[in-house]
Amino acid sequence: MRMRTHVSLASVLLISSALLAAQRPAGGPAGPLPDQAVADAFSMALTGDSIITRRLSVYTEPAFLRMIGLIRGADVAFTNLEMLFHDYEPYPMNESGGTYMRADPALAKELVWAGFDLVSRANNHSGDYGVEGMRLTTKHVAAAGLVQAGVGESLLEAREPKFLEAARARVALISVASTFPDHSRAGRSRGDMPARPGLNPLRYTTTYTTTPDGLAKLREALTASGLAGGGRGGSAPQGAPQSLNVLGTRVVAGDTPGIRTAPHEGDLKEIAAAVRGAARLADYTIVAIHSHEGNRDRLVPAQFLVTFARAMVDSGADVFVGHGPHVLRGIEVYKGKPILYSLGDFIFQNETLLRLPSENYEPYNLGADAHVADFNDRRYDGDRRGFPADPLIWQAVIAVPRFRGKTLVELALHPTSLGHGKPAFERGRPMPAEPEMGKKIIDDLIRLSEPFGTRITYRDGVGYVDLAAGRTK
């Protein structure tokens, strides 16, 4: 059990200026805080996706327990719960977020054992087993003692912040997803019928740009096939871009071909309002998003995600944490606040589910006598493709930001490995990365973070973000 000493934020603020001056020269290199400064600061342990199907508490390796101690030692710890807990009372929906996720409800307590306090629930698997699966998961997660956010009986409930009463601060969590089957999206009511239960969505628009000549050729091809959309053609007003609607996708003429995404204005406005409200009722506000979408590359966050993350900080978020693509993405320090575009996977045990519905077996022509292992072999071609064959899927970090008052004074990145190359029934459990792998993981983050102006150094197996550089933004 985590031991916490009560120190008021007011007293922390009184000593902050002197301690900051003594700890590190302005603009100096990143590195660990002195022991006393660590004890005085408010800390968070932040992780990415947790797809848990097996117990954690049975393992006793010293390195594993040290990693668990890191999580337990933080004032508050967070993970994205990309799992549903039920005993197969609900039926699977006709569409899922990929693999239909379900685990024994008792495993919710394993997350508590590991030290977690907060879990996000808005992700592409929230609705795999319909509304009943969502509700049962909410019940089992609450019974385990975890604070959860991101789903609800209506859009308003799914959007609202949830609060953790920690010994040294009150922490708010708002959970959002941009990747989801549409049936999982929560809705609102006008009072004449019930609202639709579901997750807190962030929709986005995508615009493709091609040359004027390319647009003309596309229009000709679509017209010939009978698929031409209702966009503007050559009769567009002078100076206005030509555009075309192609099966719901907007294509415009421009000088440089490319893809542009932007967050849905209504969703952005409503989520920002929830963040502003939470920031007035909590010491710290965390916004978490499940977002698979990349900017041509899965390692680079989509444009709409960058816009959204910065808008959340502008609205009062102290931390923005991303998850979903199952790989690490870069880090940005925006107005002194950490934006972690993706922390990768904390637990990735999607191959050891107990059962799968027929919708998973049918695309691989697997009959009634096939089981989960057969599905895995067919899906991943005996580990030669997909998740098992991709080493980046099995590399992640635990991010530990420390705050003095509202000031971020340290952001440490602890590399973890989930056992790439091990058998399916072993891989997916996190361990501290070995030194060579740990340096490789931090080197990847250094490269991915450079476009955001973020500098990271690697010391004694841990990455440290240079906060002096980030405060200039």
Confidence of residue 5 (pLDDT cuts 50, 70, 90): very low
Task: Give 269 or 469, the one with higher predicted confidence.
Answer: 269
Q: Under a CB-based contact definition with an 8 Å cutoff, are residues 74 and 60 in contact?
A: no
Closest CA to 340 of 417, 400, 273: 400
| Span 168-225, pLDDT tens digits | 999 999 999 999 999 999 999 999 999 999 999 999 999 888 888 888 888 888 888 7
The pair of three-digit structure tokens given for residue 219, joined into one six-digit string:
């229009």
Q: Under a CB-based contact definition with an 8 Å cutoff, are residues 118 and 174 in contact?
A: no
Cα–Cα dist 323/344, whole Å: 6
For residue 32, the model assigns a pLDDT of 81
| Span 376-404, pLDDT tens digits | 999 999 999 999 999 999 999 999 999 99
The pair of three-digit structure tokens given for residue 314, joined into one six-digit string:
């502008």
Question: What pTM, to 2 d.p., does this model score?
Answer: 0.88
Task: Give 367 or 470, the one with higher predicted confidence.
Answer: 367
For residue 228, the model assigns a pLDDT of 63
Residue 199: Cβ within 10 Å count: 28
Task: Give 293 or 20, the one with higher predicted confidence.
Answer: 293
Closest CA to 414 of 428, 399, 403: 399
Q: Under a CB-based contact definition with an 8 Å cutoff, are residues 331 and 449 in contact?
A: yes
Q: Report the pLDDT averaged over residues 257-279.
A: 95
For residue 468, the model assigns a pLDDT of 86
> Which positions ≥6 away from 110 have C-beta within 8 Å?
52, 55, 56, 57
Closest CA to 258 of 209, 221, 224, 315: 209
For residue 296, the model assigns a pLDDT of 87
For residue 23, the model assigns a pLDDT of 43
CATH code, residues 9-201+265-350+390-470: 3.60.21.10
Confidence of residue 235 (pLDDT cuts 50, 70, 90): very low
Beta bridge pairs of residue 149: 120
Whether 22 has a pLDDT exceeding 60, the answer reads: no
What is the distance, to the nearest Å, from the Cα of residue 391 to the centroid of all Cα atoms in its chain? 19
Confidence of residue 85 (pLDDT cuts 50, 70, 90): very high
Q: What is the mean pLDDT of the chain?
A: 90
Whether 28 has a pLDDT exceeding 60, the answer reads: no
Q: Which range among 13-22, 26-35, 299-308, 310-319 shows the weakest confidence by mean pLDDT?
A: 13-22
Whether 250 has a pLDDT exceeding 50, the answer reads: yes
With b for 16 or more beta-carbon neighbours within 10 A and e for fewer, the 343-356 pattern comes to bbbbbbbbbbbeeb
Q: Are strands 118-120 and 76-81 parallel, antiparallel or unpaired?
A: parallel
Enumerate the domain spans of the chain: 9-201+265-350+390-470, 212-254
Cα–Cα dist 435/460, whole Å: 9
Q: C-alpha distances in angstroms, 55 versus 106, 108, 110, 141, 417?
A: 9, 10, 6, 16, 17
Environment class of 425 (CB within 10 Å of its CB; exposed 0-12, middle 13-18, buried 19+): exposed
3-state percent helix, strand, coil for the chain, nearest multiple of 5: 30, 25, 40
